[in-house]
Amino acid sequence: MKNINFKLNFPIFWLGLSLFISTSTLVYFLYALDIIGLIASILITSILLWSLKPYLKDLKSKTNSDTSYKFWLYGVISILATISALILAFYARTDQAIISPWQLINPWFFVFIALASLCLLLALKQAAPDTCKKILLSFYYLGIFSVASIIYKLGYGFDPFIHQAAMLEINKYGFILPKNPYYLGQYSVIILLHKISGLSLYLINQWLVPITSALLLPQIIYYLFPKKADNKSAWLSSPLIILLGFTPLIMTTPQNFSYLFLLATIIFIYTNLSWPLIVFSALATFAIHPLSGIPALALVTLFLLPKIKIKKLSFNALKRSEIIFASLFLIFCLTIWATSGFSPLHLSSYNLSLLNPSFLGQENFILNFVYFFVNNYFWLILAGAIIIFFQRHRLWPDISLKETKTLRLLSLAALAAISAYLISRGFSFASLINYEQDNYAARLPIIALILLIPIYWELFHYLSKRALKQTQIMQVILLVGTAIIMTIAVYGSYPRFDNYFNSRGYSTAESDIEAVHIVENLAQGQAYITLANQQVSAGALHEFGFHNRYLNNRDQQEIYFYPIPTGGPLYQYYLDMVYKNAKRETMLKAMEFSQVNRAYLIINKYWWASDKIIAEAKLSANFWQKIDDGKVYIFEYRQ
C-alpha cells in the first residue's frame, strides 16, 4: 500500500513544484519574493494544484510485492560501499585551490564505487518492491553526484557564487535590480527552503541539484516502465543512464537545475502523461533557465498541437517533419543569441572540433582504458544511435502511430539542437571573451542528449533483455564490465588532472577569501577596484555580495568592483596585467575607467607565468605583500 501511495503522490508533488516555480517567478516580476510574495506564490500554487488535480493520471505499472533475500544482501553491500566511498571523499575535503577532486581522494574510492555499482546491478535483478529499488538507486545516485559538494569546502565552480550573491540580495530585500527574467525558478525554491528550514542559502545552493537529482531521477525514469512487461530488465537499464554522463548534476546552477526539469518534460511527453504535468513542467523549465525552457515550450506546443481539433492548413503544415525541424532549429539559434545578450554576431573561423577516434599509448594501462571511453565519448554515443536506428523495430515492436510521431518529434528536436550547435561554431559574439565564445552553444549537445534519453533508455532496456538471456557466467562478465564502465563514467564526469587531461580551472581557496579581506582592510573605506582571476572574484562575491559594491565608471555605467563577469572591461585590464606586462600604466587606466583612486592586483601562485608577473608588479606597485606562504600576492596601487 505504501508503494501505491508513493506513486500517487509523485505527480501531485511534481505538479506542485512546477506550479510554485512558475507562479513565484510571476509574483517576483509583479511584486517581490519577500515573505508576502512567497505566501502569495504558495496560495496561488495551492489553488491551481487543487483545480488541476483531477486531470492527473496515475502511473499504471506492475509491482512485485515479494522480496528476495539476495536483494537485501546486494543492496546492503551497495549502500555500505557507497558510504565507504563518501567517507574517503570527506577525508579529502579541502579549502585549498585544486583542479580536480581526484587529486586528493584515495584511489580506493573507485574500488568502492565499482563494488557499489556491481552490487546495485545485482540487487536490481532481484525481486523486490519498486519503492525499495527506487530508494537504493537514489542512494547510489546521491553518492556519485555529491563528490564535488563534499570535496570543495568553499564551493565548486564560479557561477554558484554569482547566484548565491543574487539570492542573498533577494532574500534580504525581496528583489535585485534589474529584474532579469533568468534563474528565478531556482532562486524561489532555494529561498523558500531557506525560510522554512533555517538552513543557510549557501548550504542549500551547494546541495540542491545533487540531492534533488538523486531523489527524483529514479521516479522520473520510472515513468518509462509501464509499457515494459519485463520489469527486471527495465530496472537494470535505469542506472545505465549515467553512462551518458552526469556532469550537470554535480553542481547547482540554474542551467543544471533546468536540465532536470527538461528531462522530466521530455519523459512526460514520451509517455504521453497528463497535459498539466507536461505544460507546467515546461513552464517551470523556462522559469529556471530560458536556454532549456524555450525548447521545452516549443516541444510541448508541437506535441499538443495534433490534439487540437483544428483542420486549418497552417496547423497541418506545422506537423510536417521539415517544418518541425526548421522551426526548432531557428528556435535553438535564436535562444543562443538571446542568452548571449543579443550580442552582435561576427563570422569566425569555423571549427567543428569533433574528436577523432583516440587510442593512447602505454604510459598507464588503467588510464589508457579509462580514456578510451572518455575520449571516444562522441563515437560511442554515435554507435548507440546507429544501433537504435537499425534495431528500432525490436526496440519498439508494437509501436503505434502516436508513439511514432513522438519519437520523430524528439529525434528532430535533437537533430535541430546539434545543427544549431554546429552552425553557432561559425560565429563569434562581440561581447564575450574568447574562452566564453562557446559557453552557451556548448550546452546544446547536452540538451540534444537529454532529448534522446528516453530513446537511449530503450536501447539499454533492449541490451539488458539480451544480457539476461545469456549464460550465468556470461551475465557475471557483463555485469562486472558494466560496473567498471559506470565507474569510468564517475571519473569522467568530474574535473580531471592526470597524465592525459587537465581541466585547468582551480577552485576558490581559503587564501582567496583571506586576500579579499586584506584588500578590504587596506582600502580603509575608500572606493577601490581589484583585478583578479574569477575564483578570487568568486571569493569576493561569497564574502561581500552585490549590495553597495557597484561603482559608476567614466561612462556612468555601473560596474562591480571585482572582474564580474569575466567578459567585462575590468577582466580585460586583468588580462593585460598578466599576459602582457604588469605595468603601472595599465592599473592607472583601470582606475581612471572606474573613477577610483585605489586599485589592487591579486596574483595566485598557480597562475601561468606567475613568477614573471609578480616580479613586474613588485616594481610598479606602491605596496605589496604575500599571504599563505606565498600562495597569493597582493599589490596596491594609488594615484
Assess whether 461 and 592 both reside in one domain: no
pLDDT of residue 94: 94
Residues 6+ apart with CB under 8 A from 429: 340, 341, 343, 344, 345, 346, 437
Assess whether 471 and 565 both reside in one domain: no
Number of folded domains that form the chain: 2
Q: Can you tell me the distance from the alpha carbon of 381 to that of 416, in angstroms, rounded to the nearest whole number? A: 17
Domain final residue pick, 442, 466, 492: 492
What digits encode the pLDDT tens for the residues 221-273? 998 887 665 678 889 999 998 998 899 999 999 999 999 999 999 999 998 88
Instruction: Look at residue 59 and tell me if it is in a domain.
Output: yes
Which string of DSSP letters, residue by residue, matches 123-186? HHTS---HHHHHHHHHHHHHHHHSHHHHHBTT-SSSHHHHHHHHHHHHHHHS--SS--SSSHHH
Assess whether 470 and 586 both reside in one domain: no
pLDDT-derived band of residue 7, with 50, 70 and 90 as boundaries? very low
Assess whether 456 and 522 both reside in one domain: no
What digits encode the pLDDT tens for the residues 472-523? 999 999 999 999 999 999 999 999 888 777 778 899 999 999 999 999 999 9
Q: Can you tell me the distance from the alpha carbon of 388 to that of 244, in angstroms, rounded to the nearest whole number? A: 15
The residue among 165, 174, 166, 216 whose CA lies nearest residue 195 is 174
Determine the structural domain holding residue 193 and report its residue range.
2-309+318-343+360-492
pLDDT of residue 93: 95
Percent share of the chain, pLDDT over 90: 51
Assess whether 303 and 429 both reside in one domain: yes
Q: Can you tell me the distance from the alpha carbon of 23 to that of 232, in angstroms, rounded to the nearest whole number? A: 40
Lowest mean pLDDT among 315-324, 397-406, 416-425, 476-485: 315-324
Lowest mean pLDDT among 132-141, 282-291, 345-354, 362-371: 345-354
pLDDT-derived band of residue 21, with 50, 70 and 90 as boundaries? very high
Residue with cell 534522446: 452
Q: Is residue 59's pLDDT more than 70?
A: no
Assess whether 551 and 516 both reside in one domain: yes
Instruction: Look at residue 422 and tell me if it is in a domain.
Output: yes
What digits encode the pLDDT tens for the residues 331-342? 888 887 776 655
Instruction: Look at residue 500 and tell me if it is in a domain.
Output: no
Assess whether 41 and 141 both reside in one domain: yes
pLDDT of residue 361: 55
C-alpha cell at 308: 487540437
Cβ burial 546-576 (10 Å sphere, 16+ → b, else e): beebebebeeeeebbbbbbbbbbebbbbbbb
Q: Is residue 305's pLDDT more than 80?
A: no
Assess whether 531 and 415 both reside in one domain: no
Domain final residue pick, 492, 521, 539: 492
pLDDT of residue 147: 96
Q: Can you tell me the distance from the alpha carbon of 82 to that of 145, in angstroms, rounded to the nearest whole number? A: 11
Assess whether 541 and 460 both reside in one domain: no
Q: Identify the residue with better confidence: 385 or 523.
A: 523
Instruction: Look at residue 355 and tell me if it is in a domain.
Output: no
Q: Identify the residue with better confidence: 178 or 198.
A: 198
Q: Is residue 553's pLDDT more than 60?
A: yes
Supply the DSSP symbol for 578. Answer: I
Q: Can you tell me the distance from the alpha carbon of 323 to that of 392, in angstroms, rounded to the nearest whole number? A: 24
Q: Is the pTM of this model over 0.85?
A: yes
Percent share of the chain, pLDDT over 70: 88
Residue with cell 575607467: 593
> Per-residue pLDDT averaged across 450-465, rounded?
91
pLDDT-derived band of residue 314, with 50, 70 and 90 as boundaries? low
Q: Is residue 4's pLDDT more than 50?
A: no
The residue among 634, 608, 604, 636 whose CA lies nearest residue 509 is 604
Assess whether 537 and 487 both reside in one domain: no
Instruction: Look at residue 348 and tell me if it is in a domain.
Output: no
Lowest mean pLDDT among 20-24, 144-148, 371-375, 517-521: 371-375
Assess whether 470 and 535 both reside in one domain: no
Q: Can you tell me the distance from the alpha carbon of 172 to that of 27, in angstroms, rounded to the nearest whole number? A: 16
pLDDT of residue 335: 80
Instruction: Look at residue 220 and tell me if it is in a domain.
Output: yes
Across the chain, mean pLDDT equals 85
Q: Is residue 602's pLDDT more than 90?
A: yes
Assess whether 469 and 547 both reside in one domain: no
pLDDT-derived band of residue 96, with 50, 70 and 90 as boundaries? very high
Bridge partners (DSSP) listed for residue 530: 600
Q: Is residue 324's pLDDT more than 50?
A: yes
Instruction: Look at residue 611 and tell me if it is in a domain.
Output: yes
What digits encode the pLDDT tens for the residues 33-56? 899 999 999 999 999 999 998 888
> Per-residue pLDDT averaged across 441-460, rounded?
90
Residue with cell 592525459: 500
Q: Identify the residue with better confidence: 621 or 568.
A: 621
Instruction: Look at residue 591 and tell me if it is in a domain.
Output: yes
Domain final residue pick, 492, 522, 543: 492
